[in-house]
Structure formats: structure tokens, C-alpha cells
Amino acid sequence: MTSRLELLATAIAAHPTLPREAVVKEDLLRTGIAFSPAALKLAAQFKKKAYFIFSFDLVPLAEMEKGEHWHAPEELWLEGGGWGFRPTVVSVRLNPASPYRVEAEEGAAVLRVEGEELARVKFPPVPEYYNRALASGKRVIEIAPTIEWGYLIYLTVFRICQYWGDKEECQFCDINENYRQQTRAGRPYTGVKSVEEILEALEIIASTDAASRAYTITGGSITSELKGQTEVEFYSAYAAAIEARFPNRWIGKMVAQALPKALARRYQDAGIKIYHPNYEVWDARLFRQFCPGKERSIGREEWMRRILDAGEIFGPACVIPNFVAGIEMARPDGYERVEDAIRSTAEGLEYFMSRGISPRFTTWCPEPLTTLGRANPEGAPLEYHCRLLETWRDTHARHHLAVPPGYGDPGLGRAVFSVSSFMDVISPAAPPPPALLPASGVPASV
Ligand code: SF4
């Protein structure tokens, strides 16, 4: 059996144009990370994993014998160490059985794989606002957590999806199962956050913080109504309230279903700058199979058409649909060979990028409470993820597209996007993103 170090060495040698930090980051994201008890103790003094939407873990909470889910940090900053890492930020996906282990040595954290030191580790500092609470007693970490090293405020305002059960839920998504396991474990986990509590949490952040530059509003799909509102009414109300109270304080982003033009325009009217109508997987057969609810209620062809239509509203650079990188190789129905999976995904990238729209991806975390995760605990091969990075980078460059806005600085050593490496591999020659905020990014009142 190939050791993890051999796997890494092979991938790095086969992909010399990829920074090896990006190769390791992808492998960490698909495999997960273990923590020694001493490292967990050290990490507990830092910014903890907030479970901002999905579990993004490789085991259920019930199997975390060391209570990792209560102490683990949101992200790791990898720098220096045995492999001389340039700064790389990676999201923490817990897996007590992972060959990647964070250890505590002489009061500092180190990332090792099979005993070999890869990098020194920094944990994210606890922001001032994480020590504050709302009048109700709810903590800011629950209502308005931040990720991407403090860049992005992540507002999952509805923690449940109305696509419900095997025949409706996307087969890679554990939003509903995660909600159940978090509440069972006793974590305060508000199912529907009110507009008022979002504003109260943002007030606290705005008065104490200068690092956050963007917010994302998201949650499960609303197929009928929630609190008497349709999906667009429900989600746009948050954006409108935030922009009325804090005009242009942050870049507003919306992750929601692909809507017809007239409805998508309502997000823009509410103040949203960037729209993420995520298409999850490009292959038509796999979309129908893996996203049965979306297929039933909207349909794959219509979904893709609406993404293009949204470009006419927000501008193509500000429509950034996500896909879940790797699910196209999920057994038993996905592609068996890496080259076939990449060919399919590259077709989707070409389709959108040739029209000025840059999709981005989240590296698939095969969560065990999902259909695809259960059948594919090892996720997609590392070779797939390396080839995807090259394909995304090269397609993006070939179409002379700008750096996607709303993700912070691009390039290795600067990128903070933590759930895939697409921002780490962007060419330094890429045109800058369109300006969506006043020049300073932060209004003078802060
Ligand atoms: S639409 Fe699919 S991916 Fe989105 S929350 Fe619902 S089940 Fe999850």
C-alpha cells in the first residue's frame, strides 16, 4: 500500500506547476485532520470551529472520542516547518484517523504526516466579537461566525433544507443531518435566525473589527414558503436590512438557488453584489442523480440557463456558481477514471468561463451522514484534485478573467479562501477583481 508521503511525493512530482502547499491543502481537505490531545488543548485557546453550515467532518460527532468538535480550531495557518511552507490557510475537517496530525511540541503546533514535519501551525486568533453576546444571550460565533481568517462573515440564516430525505436532498450534503447531530450534541444551533439577531451580531462585529470584508447569506433551499415567505423574499429581507443599516460596509454575497431573472434581480435590489447559484456538478446525468430536488423543481438545463441570465444582472464576474469538486467520481455512478471526470468538469468550466463567468469549487468532504460520503469515505483521488486545480487555473487564464471578487487577495502566501485551493493557484498576472466597495474597503466610521 502506498504511504501518504509517497502519495504526496508522486502528486507533487507529477504536477510541477502546482505549489506543493496547494497539493497538501487539497489532500488535507479530502482526508481530514487529527489532533493530539495536547494540540487540542492548545487550540482551545483560539477561534473554534463554528460549524458554519455543514459538518465538514469525516466522522459523525458521536464518534469524536476526544471531543474534537468542541475544541478544534476553525482553520489552520501553515507556514515554515519541515517543508518550508509559504503561508497557506486551510479549513479544519476533523478525522481522528487521518494520517495528518497536528501535534503540540514545546508549546507550539506542528503539522505532521506519518511522523514527518510538514509545517508549523498557527491557529486563528479569537476576534473580540467572539467574546460578546447578543441581548438574548446567544453568542456571535453562533449567529455570525467568520471564516477565511476573518475575511468572511458566514450567515447561515436557515439551517435546514426543504429538500428533505433521500429522494430530495443533494446526495453530498449533510445540512439536515448536521442540524440534527449538532442539536443532539447540545450545541446552541438556531434553525432560523431572525433579521434582528443578525443585525445585532453585525453591530457588534462592525464596532470591533476591521478584518471582515464580505458576508454570505445562505441556508437551505425553500421550496414552498418559510414564515410565509418565498425563498427570494426570505433571503433578500436579510440583505436589505443589512445594507440599510450598514451601507457598503461589506461585500454582500448570496448563496441560493438559481432563480429566474426577475426574481434574481430582487437580490440585487436588496444590495447583493455577488450571486452564487451553485450547480454542484456539471455532468447532466450526475446532476439529475445527485441533486434530485433541484432537478425536480428547476431542472438542470434551466438551472444552467439561469446562471447565464444572472450574468446580465450582476455582471458575469459577479456570478460565481460553486461546484463540489470530486463528487463526479463518487461510486457507484460517477466516473471511474480521473481523465473522464476532468474532461466533464473542464467542459463546464469552458462553458461558463468563455462567457465571463468563473465557477469556483469546494473540495468535496465525504461526510459520513450523506449518501455519497457513506459510499466513498475516501472521497476523490488526489490526482483528480491536482488536475482540477491545473484545469481551473489554465481555463481561467486562457479567458483572461479577473480574480473572482469577494475572496480576498489571490495567490500563494496571500489567499485566505480555505475550503479549496483555487485562490492559491491564481496567476499573479490575472486582472484585479472589479471594485465592489469604497477604496478603503471599510467605511470611515469603523
Ligand atoms: S439544495 Fe442541496 S446542497 Fe443546498 S442545502 Fe439543500 S440539500 Fe444541501
- Ligand 1 centre to CA of 276 (Å) is 13
Task: Give the distance (Å) from ligand 1 centre to CA of residue 221.
Answer: 6
Q: Give start and end residues of each alpha helix (H) in 280-381.
A: 284-290, 292-297, 300-314, 338-353, 371-375
CA of 220 to the centre of ligand 1 (A): 6
Tell me which amino acid residue 104 is. Answer: A
Instruction: Give the ligand 1 atom nearest the CA of 161.
Output: 6
State which of 157, 175, 322 you would mutate to test the pocket of ligand 1, scoring each by most atoms of that ligand within 8 A of its C-beta. Answer: 175
What CATH fold (topology level) applies to the domain 130-398? TIM Barrel (3.20.20)
Task: Over range 219-226, report the average pLDDT.
Answer: 96
C-alpha cell of 360? 469556483
If you write DSSP's letter for every residue of 6-59 in order, what string do you get? HHHHHHHHH-TTS-HHHHHHHHHHHH-BEE-HHHHHHHTTSPBP---SS---SS
pLDDT score at 428: 80
How many Cβ atoms from other residues are within 10 Å of residue 164's Cβ?
A: 13
User: What is the number of the ligand 1 atom nearest to the C-alpha of 219?
Assistant: 5
Reply yes or no: is the peptide bond before residue 381 cis, omega within 30 of 0: no
> Residue 114 is placed in which grid cell?
506519518
Answer yes or no: are the C-beta atoms of 424 and 415 closer than 8 Å. Answer: yes
pLDDT at 415 over 70: yes
pLDDT tens readout for residues 24-53: 999 999 999 999 999 999 999 999 999 999
Q: What is the mean pLDDT of the chain?
A: 96
If you measure from the C-alpha of residue 172 to the centroid of ligand 1, how many angstroms do you get, rounded to a whole number? 9
pLDDT of 437: 82
Average pLDDT over residues 397-412: 97
Kindly give the number of the ligand 1 atom that is closest to the alpha carbon of 294.
Answer: 1
Tell me which H or E stretch contains 424: none
- Gap from CA of 8 to ligand 1 centroid (Å): 32
Q: What is the pLDDT of residue 444?
A: 39
Q: Evaluate if residue 2 carries a pLDDT over 90.
A: no
Question: What gap in Å lies between CA 383 and CA 14, rounded to an integer?
Answer: 9
**Lookup: cell for 50:** 463554528
Residue 443 is predicted with a pLDDT of: 46
pLDDT tens, residue by residue, 100-145: 999 999 999 999 999 999 999 999 999 999 999 999 999 999 999 9
Domain residue limits, the chain = 4-122, 130-398
Considering only residues 274 and 437, tell me which one the structure prediction assigns the higher pLDDT: 274
Instruction: Give tens-digit pLDDT for 153-175.
Output: 999 999 999 999 989 999 999 99
Amino acid at position 292, single letter:
P
CA of 134 to the centre of ligand 1 (A): 29
Beta strands in 83-199 (DSSP E): 85-91, 100-105, 108-113, 116-122, 146-147, 152-158
Classify residue 408 as left (phi > 0), alpha (psi -120 to 50) or beta: left
Residue 446 has pLDDT above 50, yes or no: no
Cβ pair 405, 274 in contact under 8 A: yes
Nearest atom in ligand 1 to 280's CA: 3
- The model's confidence at residue 440, banded by pLDDT at 50, 70 and 90, is low
Confidence (pLDDT) at 181: 97
Cα-based angle 401, 256, 308 (whole degrees, multiple of 5): 40
Atom 1 of ligand 1, residue of closest alpha carbon: 221
Cα 358 to ligand 1 centre (Å): 21
CA nearest to 162, candidates 170, 154, 172: 170
Measure 251 CA to ligand 1 centroid, in angstroms: 23
Ligand 1 centroid to 170 CA: how many Å?
5
Instruction: Count CA atoms closer than 13 A to 92's CA, side-chain side.
Output: 32
The CA distance from 143 to 29, in Å, is 25
Q: What percent of the chain has pLDDT over 90?
A: 96
Ligand 1: which atom is nearest the Cα of residue 168?
A: 7
Ligand 1: which residue has its CA nearest to atom 5? Answer: 220
Could you read off the pLDDT of 51-93 as tens digits, one per residue?
A: 999 999 999 999 999 999 999 999 999 999 999 999 999 999 9
Per-residue DSSP letters for 266-293? HHHHHT--EEE---B---HHHHHHH-HH
Enumerate the H helices of 79-159 as residue ranges: 140-143
Of ligand 1's listed atoms, the one at least distance from the Cα of 220 is: 5
pTM: 0.97
Q: If we measure between CA atoms, which residue out of 333, 320, 411 comes closest to residue 362?
A: 320
3-state secondary structure of 264: helix
Whose alpha carbon is nearest atom 8 of ligand 1? Answer: 173
Amino acid identity at 193: K
Q: What is the pLDDT of residues 339-398, one digit of tens each?
A: 999 999 999 999 999 999 999 999 999 999 999 999 999 999 999 999 999 999 999 999
Ligand 1 lining (C-beta closer than 6 Å): 161, 163, 169-170, 173, 175, 220-221
355 and 361 in contact (C-beta within 8 Å)?
Answer: no
- Sign of the Cα pseudo-torsion (200, 204, 210, 216, in order): negative
Closest atom of ligand 1 to CA, residue 257 = 1
What cell numbers appear for 338 in the block? 480521473
